[in-house]
Structure 1
Amino acid sequence: MWPGEWVARRLGVRPEGEGLRDLLGLALRRNPKRAHLLVSTVLGKHVPQRPSVVRDSGVRLGRRVRELLGEDGAARSTVVGFAETATALGHCVADGMGGVPFLHSTRRRGTGVEPVGRFEEEHSHATSHLLLPEDPALLGTDGPLVLVDDELSTGRTVRNTLAALHAVHPRERYVVVALVDLRGAAEVEELEKFAAGLGARLDVLALASGTVRLPDDVLERGRELVAACGPEAGAAPERAGAPAPARRVATGWPAGLPDGGRHGFHPRHARRLDAVLPGMAAQLLDALDRPADTNTDGAGGPHRVLVLGTEELMYAPLRLACELERQTAAPAGPSAPAAPSLEVRFSTTTRSPVLALDDPGYAIRSALTFPAHDLAPAPDGTPPAPEQRYAYNIAGQGFDTIVVVTDSAADTPQLHAPGGLLDRLGHCAPQVLLTVLPTRVPRQRRGADRLPQPLRGPAFSSYAPDDVAWLLQDLSDVDLEAPTEEREEAIQAGGAHYAESLPVEYQPDEEYQRLFRAALDGSAERLALAVGTVTETVLAERGPRPVLASLARAGTPVGILMRRWARRMHGLDLPHYAVSIVRGRGLDPTALRYLAAHHDPADVVFVDGWTGKGAITRELADALAAHPEHRGFVPDPAVLADPGSCVRTRGTREDFLIPSACLNSTVSGLVSRTVLRADLVGPDDFHGAKFYRELAGSDVSRDFLDAVCARFDAVREQAVRDAEALTALPEAERAPTWEGWRAVERISDAYGIGDINLVKPGVGETTRVLLRRVPWRILARRGSGADLDHVRLLAQQRGVPVEETDDLPYTCVGLVHPRYTRGATGADGKAAHR
């Protein structure tokens, strides 16, 4: 039976149009402004539905929008969905358009973001909508704006929305998208005239169109019907006994990934979500307590699971439900089982009060009523007035497990209280799981800037929380690694920047680990002396309380050691941050804004591990000089070792083995090299990096720090003397000579390389060539001793020749293979082989 027949017979409301009955049922509202409710069967709001059906409805509409606008028009578009019903629908439309920025309106207040627009949905139970993009520029583009709602009835809400948006930022084209378009001829004409008055083109797309015929006295008749049914109509049937207690399940939602489109959701966010969904769904599957091939009624068949979103939070739960459905679908093939292991359905809670009746010709068969659990106090701290929320068609449906997905702002005592949502659901299914996504907290403004917050260990990195604050975003769940040869070819061919991907983390064998330990034992005191010298120099010249900003990641262990020296020797607790700098792209501008917002830029000291030819030193100076707002920062980095003579402030100019150069993340807090890619890093984001938690068993980051710190007391007096001697030097003797840069140019010419970026001087950079790049050959200064043992071992493992030479200011130089650009020839003119 059509789930609208009961209302149609008694109220005289009938939708007329091809396909409408396949998409809609009917129910009665408990709302004096409108008698009937059009209940979508594919929206995932009031009627539990297969998640793939819900998602496909929006994606199909998005593809039609892309066809209408063309590829260029679609790519320049922004999609806005209406709360609460069209939050997931609008998001799916954006996905179907190929991935475009998305925002949905919201009724949740107290988010700390000033609205850029507000409008009224006059017939709704909750009328006011706010537009709260974290970045107001999201609605400031000149491309088409796509508005998405579940149904288009009179067009009044669309007009209110267009008026509000057009007043803020006029544009030439709008598209309105809905599951069903039910306007009559008069409403169609009225919306067309309205758009013409704006001077804009307006297109409307829907899966089905038609009209709903209403009797003149529909409101009065509707009120009478609701009153006749009584307040207890559709009361949810409950399971006998105590309610099933809800059990929390952590799904590993990535830090920094928005939980939805309330403040904006960009294509880079969509790609991160796609990457982590399989693992999140797998964790949910592991948490299900399901007897094999038996549902809760004791009958054979799939385990029935309902994934229940909460009000505006629809898209993330929908995507989780889709992935559960995909992972447990029946495999294809003649020998495959006949049925899936899980039967997954999706729906969400709602604000809308609807009459429930257990009748096959009525769309809302049962109702759960519970207190709202996401209300924020008023700005003055006054508790919010109580409100009711609803969940429909759940009780009595034979679900074995209900998975509630909410956000942390809605994970309140009201959610868990007797009579709250979890308690009510515990009477509907024997198993209730709760997964909580971190609520997107909009970045706070400082002037015109929006600033993210730093990351700290142990959530990000294996360093202690007070060792370093990482001005980075966590991309741990994004697949960024590529084989070394593949990366090298793309970089040298000009098709990719080295910061757009990561090398596969090199894991040294036992012999190399022993070499690292031996090198650390042999150089710890020399390292401690260099740390003490550079720290004492900084305190003397940039004190009394400098702010350390180490250049991630080679500079980070050095910055931690400098901070520990200042604390042990002087009782100073110096702020320490790690910031990203990328050759050819400069310093992370968002990190600079953060530093400037929290500290005097003149107090900030940039810290690095060592210098090679000085490329990063020049990059730092160029980046600060290029932007007037950054001129308060001092472009004079402090480094542990300066064999290239590129800086004024250093611990030493010896080119010796700094053991932290031997390893990658396992000596750097398990953090990757930094990443800068346009689809992952927005204009207000920190640069990205990964935290390799899975390598914890090989981590020696704290061992390295502890070994050097253990030598501090032994070298204290010498470090003070060396720092005093350095600061007493005439400026001509302190100033960089750039001897290393000139040597690199000579080597580049002598070996016919042409690109000085392929020449990596010094022990540290040579080590990184052998670990990360495709090495061609190693040049070693004749007579170099134990400092090069690890270089020779790595070169032997990778089949790279080591050439002894006398004319070298460094202990060694690594040459990256230039074969990808020129079919490289060496100094002897012979072609290099792949």
Structure 2
Amino acid sequence: MKNAVNDGVWSGRWVAERLGVELVGDERLPALLGLALRRNPKRAHLLVSNVLGKHVPQSPSVIYGHGFCLGRRVRELLGASEAASAVVLGYAETATGLGHCVADGLGPAPYLHSTRRPVAGVARAGGFEESHSHATSHLLLPEDPTLLAGDGPLILVDDEFSTGNTILNTIRDLHERHPRRRYVVVALVDMRSTEDTSRLQRFAAGIGAQVDVIAAASGAVLLPRNVLEKGQQLVARHEAVQQTYERAPEHRGRVARLDLRWPGGLPDGGRHGFTQAHRNRLEAALPAMAARIAAALPHDSGRVLVLGFEELMYAPLRLAGELERLVPAEVCFSTTTRSPVLALDDPGYAIRTRLAFPAHDDPADGPGERYAYNVAGGGFDSVVAVVDSAADTPALHAPDGLAARLAAHAPHVLLTVVPSYVPESPLPESPVPESPLPESPVPESDSPVPEPTHVPERPAMLPEPLRGPAFSSYPPDEVGWLLQDLSDVTLEAPTEEREEAIQSGGAHYAESLPVEYQPSEEYQELFHAALDASTLRLARAVAVVTETVIAERSPRPVLVSLARAGTPVGVLMRRWARFRHGLELPHYAVSIVRGRGIDTNALRWLAAHHDPQDIVFVDGWTGKGAITRELAEAIGEFEAKEGVTGIDPEIAVLADPGSCVRTYGTREDFLIPSACLNSTVSGLISRTVLRADLVGPDDFHGAKFYRGLAAADVSVAFLDAVSARFSEVCDGVGTEVRELTAEDRTPTWAGWRAVERISEDYGIHDVNLVKPGVGETTRVLLRRVPWKILARTGAGADLDHVRLLAAQRGVVVEEVGDLPYTCVGLIHPKYTRGATGADGRAVNA
């Protein structure tokens, strides 16, 4: 296999012909870009840069030159005075090196790149979402908290500028914290549509700032309507048969270890900021470090690859550039990546080969595979692998690890480790593990050898959120599930058996699942009728609660829905924010279990990736307020234990008939159609599960994805029906919210008092067996063993589905005159020892 850049064939031809994709724009685009197919449900195609140094090995001088020239163009745009106060921000993972090169050309200027690797003891200075990515959350972790606080120009650097959503999310987040007059967006290619360009202009005008764009080339990718489906089919077909050079040859190359003698205390990149003082130290040390590499390479190396590691791009790129000047061999540079891409050995395809290996950084940002593309079959005599010390773990040296994968395809592999820079931290230190690899013989140097590097211990890294269609039927950008997938575990039990175990104390309700209720044709018709009748009412409630959250809680909230009933509401709130304000709000679903609290690992993930003050918990409705109290207690315990502050435990709900919260769309107890069904209106996700043998101390709570119920799924249809009515409630929602926010909304807990009274009147000694409100009553009929339904006298169509379910299960519906809710469901207390009915006789006699 030749390098895709040098084959004389456009490396996007294969995808263009099979998907009907067209690349239009500047004449330079084909030289800068190829095309490949993503193994990613969010996008079909991948623009593969030939000059970025990520997927395609390229001359380091070419890579550095493109970034440096872009920096020079920014300097010309700003002028010397403004350039002197500019700060450059690059995007992880692909643009960390590009952004650093732009910073060099600009001034040089202070540089910071976003990261997906949380670092214990380093406070967040911001964060944002990249919704189309396979891993969406970015952290900003500058060592100097004032780095982003100035009012000079902020330069945002990414490899490609496709829609502008990520840029908008970044500017919005940072502008709210530290407003400034000017932003400059820099990319190798600008592929935005006319509408995307206009949207950025409107956004800039709205915040009163100037936003300029600089790119090496511009154009557009024209996609057919069914491109995602066709792309997924192509990936499935070729992934099964394509040779990707992952099978090791019989003879392996030698792996040796080289000490670069990296200057002590010098940052390995811009994760925590890189200043002019850092730059001066690096420039002074580069020649000696490159000379050590050159001396360690075999003399007959005609083609050498310097391979960086994920976000660690700039340091190995600069080493490669120095090496290119020192040795007669052809030197190329690229890095490993987390991006899953189909490999196909065709001259018209950009990703010719793939090496896959387990994640080996500590903490690994999510489990699973990592990749090196276009390395196997590239004709490299030697590979210089440069990793940071956080990645120098046993997994790196395992039989299926990166070192072994490289040695299977290159006669000589040289491994060098750059110390992972961690700002001073009060956390305890632990030494970097020693590697079994031999030290490569190199000439002695007069440079002092730094003391062994120590890295603070970090908590175990939690995986990225689960997303559809792999988990749930929701589109991937609608919600990320902070759960573990237990779809292959049998958890269901007959309703009566579960009820007996729960009420006898033999099991907790979260340790098993009820058998999913499959609605009759009559009941499904009732659901659709209820949906048709309530969409406008629902749309208004969604608008009111979302506007209240934005006005009172956070201008850019992070929605955290309580799985699973709260998740459709969270999706609708996210859709309203996008419809009304152009906001792309992050949305996650987490588990909370009555009596056991919220998933603390999910909270740790959220606190590491977002500002805790932006977190807003979301649910569908309140009953008696048990979950509201549970959440407040759990958040208090979490903050005291973890040292995290600022999380508001109050839930935002569509309906608050129990008067338990201050943030709601309405306090009426009406039918929310998503309460009518189980998983088939909640993304095909089960109730959450918490069981000691399945959920360890470092795991998210679990849930199941019922793929087999897809034919009955109405989850997206429900969301679309409500969203379609948003335009009809726009005019009045502002006035309604202003009136609501002016009211005294202090919770009265009237619902709790009503439940206590009902418990006493009906001889139920456990208030958890009393489920008030239309939503909770529906759950009783679907998932528990109902005893009676109490309906407020005169309740109308909101209870049609309750009456139908009650009739099907032989449950009495009793009308009550002074009921504060539309209805209340009573769970049969026959398994509770000593329980008595309303007539005083023992129920379980």
What is the TM-score when the length of structure 2 is the normalising length? 0.49
What is the TM-score when the length of structure 1 is the normalising length? 0.50
Larger radius of gyration: 1
